[in-house]
Chains A and B, each alone.
Chain A
Amino acid sequence: MSKGKLGYYNPQKPQENRITDIGPVHYMQLLPPSLRKNYGKWVSHRVIEPGILMHVAESGDKVYSVRCGGARIMSVEHIREICDIADKFANGYVRWTTRNNVEFIVDSEQKAKDLKKELDSRKFVAGSFKFPVGGTGNCITNIVHTQGWIHCHTPATDASGPVKVVMDELFDYFKSMTLPAKLRISLACCLNMCGAVHCSDIAMLGYHRKPPLEDHEVLGKVCEIPLVVAACPLYAIKPITLEDGRKSVTVNKEKCMYCGNCYTMCLALPLADSEGDGVAILAGGKISNRINRPKFSKVIVPWLPNNRPRWPEVVSTIKRIVEVYAKEANKYERLGDWAERIGWERFFEKVGLEFSWHLLDDYRLAYDTFRTSTQFKYTDHAWAVSKAAGVI
């Protein structure tokens, strides 16, 4: 086994015993035997109770999966505790879902219920649950998210923190199946969207509001100026020669939309700013093709502050959206379907959100989002326009 600073690696002969291009381990060896036996021969499924799924195979076999939530950032100590539980209850097999939940697969309903009890009983010393069971059916399941301040150089907000406080507030929705349809929340800490939050029912998006600083001292030395200039989607960056003859760039602050693409290309153009940075809220997107096509999330709140450590403005806004949706939507209606049925003007009214000028698209293809119809509903937003125009 590998020990010491270098382990199996010999820096004098770096190619010696090097194994490359082997890819992932083959999945089949990691599947529980019950799944291997019935591989590709599943007939149906049913959620027995929140957090417990039953799958039935052609053979008549039934397997029970117990699902629990967790933080995506996970210590090896936590992983080892998951392994202990899997060894005790699930023959040493465990899996993760695409939304950072953990699943244990057992062979009887009773074992599943015992396991659920065990998982729900384990808490961190400070009091939060370690393995809350839920995340099935018409619930709010785990939030997919990015790195934030724990590991990334471009974030406009943290990731793990906002996720924690939002899930704290929506915890009962994770543990139950009371919503009209599934509701998927995600977070990306900047526009790069490692988490691809652009098709979520509700998304939190870290957003900068100040153009980049220009670090002329080093820019010409550490950045490829033509690439930086070309990186700007709004042609706001131009090359300049400083008084002392050095090369650099300047950013036209009126044109900048703070996307940070220039910073990705050039470390001498940082954007982060505690007053400028915050969170935009998007809503109404989805991935599934069910009933209607996948949809993009739409910006419904342009910016909320990074009010640390618990982001109360973000939490209360999301809570309000969820509660109104839960009360008003028809069964099977995703959040975006509901907003489209009642009209976005009614959505803003019911949820009590301001519709400021920031929400009028002004990027590529903006005209596609403009309403070119006389079909609308009267809300306070509409009366405010007629009054302001002096025509009523």
Chain B
Amino acid sequence: MGIPGQEKLWDKEEKGHRTYNDVRIFTDEQLNNYTEEELKSFKNKHEISMIEELEKGPWPSFVSDLKREALHRRKLGQDNLMIAQEVAEDLLGLMELSYKEGETHWKHGGIVGVLGYGGGVIGRYCDQQQKFPAIAHFHTVRVAQPGGKFYTTDYLRTFADIAEYRGSGITNLHGSTGDMVILGTFTDQLEPIFFDLTHDLGVDIGGSGSNLRTPSDCIGPARCEFACYDTLDMCYNLTMTYQDELHRPAFPYKFKFKFDGCPNGCVASIARSDMAFIGTWKDDIRINQDVVQEYVANKIPRDGGGMTGRDWGKFDIQAEVIDLCPTKCMQWDGKKLTINNAECNRCMHCINTMPEALRIGKDTGVSILLGAKAPILEGAQMSVLTIPFAYAKNPYDNIKNGVIGKIFDWWIEEGKNRERLGELIQRMGLKTLIEVLGIPAMPQMVKEPRSNPYVFFKEEEVPGGWTRDINEFRNRHPR
């Protein structure tokens, strides 16, 4: 949405779209205020010889990058910055101290935020404030990332100005959950940053704490032929539907939606989200037999060209596709590839291996899996296949009403403090989950049937119920 009525605010293809120049904070002179020579001779305020060892080697060095920011801030001067000019220099100094001592110097927590929201800002304070006053406060602002993490440079440059003018000028692109992260600012800048973000960028902040966390998606139909549904649209739609859950904590703990367009799982929803939407199909894999022949004749590189760095020999469709198929549902007779689609479990291997010959089916939707989380507390869990197939079409009311609403109600009612959905499922059982959702059990929910026979029955399932008369029993079985 962005600012209501301004859904095309940044659209370069539209006349009158917003540009960086409309809202920029710094001038060109200010942005180009140092030379390469000055950068080479830059000396940080604090000694940082140990972390300067991390400037060596070919991989991009964050230390080199932070030094550049430190110099830029020094040249901008305090008058042009709303938090301390030395923030990057102090951060480098603090890192050096942590590298010397082998321990972090960030204090535990701190409740800060913007009016009316219970999330989106992470409070952070340094425990060496006298030595590093510029990072005494170093709060994080999580900014909602756009679907597919696509940007125009106008948008990014505006983000950069806000992050530098009111923050440290240091970011994460992106945080683990997916947000654009402004790393490090002072409490008095939180409201001004929020106003800049909402007014100038037209963007909201993301989730933190016991909220819905900022949902995230794979690149989906924007540039991938494997997208079984519109991950960007669904992510956006659900994010907007659940804005209240995202900003105002009402949950037992964090809750994550992630949207993977296919079973390859580029956004790792199956491992990282309480509710994972993974694209799938229910008709047949589309085969272009002519192109299969081209693969067999070695005219097209296997695996989308991703294996060309090494000589793996001539492509052997039997060994590399047919025999590796987990369900053995494919056949190759030397001329024609056939698939017994009813037996296919849509693992993607054949499609990944010959993407120009094979395509996902046309009747597509999502599988919904529930309960993934990292190890704290009961151990790591992946999400459980719960809804095998759902159509995923805007406005997604079938999924919101049929699944999400019921899950939120159950978890808010029954979940203990800091209990993730997966832990609630573990504690109360899949059998409770399916009652909540009003769905029958299916063998697809388990890897294999239970091996212990401790089966609970409901009283109404047992003729006569559980109320029995001991005297009547003793009539038949004397003591």
Complex contact A8–B58 (CB within 8 A): no
Complex contact A55–B225 (CB within 8 A): yes
Q: Categorize the interface residue count of chain A.
A: 35 or more
Complex contact B221–A42 (CB within 8 A): yes
Complex contact A168–B59 (CB within 8 A): yes
Complex contact B146–A76 (CB within 8 A): no
Q: Does B403 contact A (CB under 8 A)?
A: no
Contact (A198, B308) CB under 8 Å given A55-B223, A96-B173: no
- Count contacts on B: residues with CB < 8 A to the other chain: 169
Complex contact B374–A196 (CB within 8 A): yes
Contact (A259, B195) CB under 8 Å given A96-B173, A165-B57, A176-B309: no
Measured in the bound complex, the distance between the Cα atoms of B201 and A1 in whole Å is 11
Measured in the bound complex, the distance between the Cα atoms of B59 and A165 in whole Å is 8
Complex contact B225–A309 (CB within 8 A): no
Nearest B residue to A68, CB-CB: B60
Q: Does A371 contact B (CB under 8 A)?
A: no
Measured in the bound complex, the distance between the Cα atoms of B115 and A77 in whole Å is 30
List CB contacts (< 8 Å) of A250-292 with chain B: 259-261, 263-264, 267, 270, 272-275, 277, 287-292
Q: Does B284 contact A (CB under 8 A)?
A: no
Residues of A within 8 A of B99 (CB): 149, 158, 161, 308-309
List CB contacts (< 8 Å) of B208-264 with chain A: 214, 216, 218-219, 221-225, 227, 230, 232, 236, 239-240, 243-244, 247, 263-264
Q: Which of B25, B164, B178, B227 contacts A1, CB < 8 Å?
A: B25
Residues of A within 8 A of B50 (CB): 308-309
> Interface-forming stretch among B5-13, B431-439, B464-472?
B5-13
One digit per residue, 1 when the CB lies within 8 angstroms of any chain B CB and 0 when it does not, for chain A 65-105 equals: 10001111111111110110011000111111110100001
Residues of B within 8 A of A263 (CB): 108
Complex contact B225–A365 (CB within 8 A): no
Contact (A177, B72) CB under 8 Å given A96-B149, A151-B183: no
Complex contact A79–B156 (CB within 8 A): yes
Nearest A residue to B258, CB-CB: A98
Determine the main DSSP class of A at the interface with B. Answer: loop
Measured in the bound complex, the distance between the Cα atoms of B139 and A269 in whole Å is 22
Contact (A151, B103) CB under 8 Å given A96-B173, A195-B176, A289-B347: no
Contact (A196, B176) CB under 8 Å given A149-B95, A274-B103, A289-B263: yes
Complex contact A9–B144 (CB within 8 A): no
Measured in the bound complex, the distance between the Cα atoms of B224 and A289 in whole Å is 17
Q: Which of A40, A74, A95 contacts B65, CB < 8 Å?
A: A74
Contact (A191, B150) CB under 8 Å given A7-B192, A25-B9, A153-B109: no
Measured in the bound complex, the distance between the Cα atoms of B4 and A45 in whole Å is 37
A123 to chain B minimum Cβ distance, whole angstroms, is 9
Measured in the bound complex, the distance between the Cα atoms of B66 and A8 in whole Å is 29
B246 to chain A minimum Cβ distance, whole angstroms, is 8
Measured in the bound complex, the distance between the Cα atoms of B108 and A260 in whole Å is 12
Q: Does A146 contact B (CB under 8 A)?
A: yes
Complex contact B348–A290 (CB within 8 A): yes
Complex contact A7–B196 (CB within 8 A): yes
Measured in the bound complex, the distance between the Cα atoms of B151 and A71 in whole Å is 18
Q: Does A30 contact B (CB under 8 A)?
A: yes
One digit per residue, 1 when the CB lies within 8 angstroms of any chain B CB and 0 when it does not, for chain A 1-45 equals: 111111111010011011111111111111111011001101111
A152 to chain B minimum Cβ distance, whole angstroms, is 6
Q: Does B320 contact A (CB under 8 A)?
A: yes
Q: Which of B31, B109, B219 contacts A267, CB < 8 Å?
A: B109
Complex contact A5–B305 (CB within 8 A): no
B173 to chain A minimum Cβ distance, whole angstroms, is 5
Q: Which of A26, A128, A308, A332 contacts B7, CB < 8 Å?
A: A26
A20 to chain B minimum Cβ distance, whole angstroms, is 6
Complex contact A151–B124 (CB within 8 A): yes
Measured in the bound complex, the distance between the Cα atoms of B109 and A235 in whole Å is 24
Q: Which of B57, B109, B320 contacts A332, CB < 8 Å?
A: B320
Nearest A residue to B88, CB-CB: A75
Contact (A27, B150) CB under 8 Å given A1-B200, A138-B306, A274-B101: yes
Complex contact A8–B60 (CB within 8 A): no
What are 24 A-B interface contacts by the 8 Å CB criterion?
Answer: A22-B203, A24-B203, A25-B10, A27-B146, A31-B150, A42-B225, A46-B355, A47-B305, A49-B308, A72-B172, A73-B171, A75-B72, A79-B156, A80-B31, A86-B153, A93-B152, A96-B149, A97-B219, A137-B306, A274-B101, A290-B263, A291-B324, A296-B380, A306-B102
A94-B153, A136-B306, A191-B374 known; 6 other A-B pairs, CB under 8 Å?
A42-B227, A69-B59, A76-B163, A124-B65, A137-B303, A168-B56
